[in-house]
């Protein structure tokens, strides 16, 4: 199984900050990685797929990068609507494993 590890688990930041979330895979997954945003009581929302392709309608302040085993999600200038939990997910293996999540909190 491919394990996905996100860091940090919690991130405190302010509106306007630039933040980066890291996701590491236990084995190489090429660029088969997606990022999701989830708000309390809601389903996850797709932000980025194939490591760096922005889903239609997602603001350009969200950027994904990386390949192989290390990936990052960067939000260039935090907006109030961005405070949520973020998950990475690999789709290289049979299990399609998700990371444990990074909760982005208001400082």
Binding site for other proteins (CB under 8 A): 32, 34, 36, 42-46, 49-50, 55, 87, 89, 91, 94-101
Q: Which is nearer to other proteins, 64 or 78 (CB)?
A: 64
Q: Which is nearer to other proteins, 2 or 82 (CB)?
A: 2
DSSP sequence for 53-84: EEPTT--TTEEEEEETTEEEEEESS--GGG-S
**Non-local CB neighbours of 98 within 8 Å, separated by 6+ positions:** 4, 87, 88, 89
Min. distance of Cβ 34 from other proteins in angstroms?
5
Min. distance of Cβ 18 from other proteins in angstroms?
26
**Non-local CB neighbours of 80 within 8 Å, separated by 6+ positions:** 15
- Cα–Cα distance, 29 to 86 (Å, whole number): 19
Min. distance of Cβ 44 from other proteins in angstroms?
6
Q: Which is nearer to other proteins, 83 or 98 (CB)?
A: 98
């Amino acid at each position: 199984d491919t394990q996905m590890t996100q860091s940090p688990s919690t991130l405190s930041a302010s509106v306007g900050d630039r933040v980066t979330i890291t996701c590491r895979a236990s084995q190489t997954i090429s660029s088969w990685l997606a990022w999701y945003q989830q708000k309390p009581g809601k389903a996850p929302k797709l932000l980025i797929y194939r490591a760096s392709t922005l889903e239609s309608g997602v603001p350009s302040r969200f950027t994904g990068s990386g390949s192989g085993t290390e990936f990052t999600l960067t939000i260039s200038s935090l907006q109030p609507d961005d405070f949520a939990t973020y998950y990475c997910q690999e789709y290289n293996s049979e299990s399609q494993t998700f990371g444990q999540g990074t909760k982005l909190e208001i400082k």
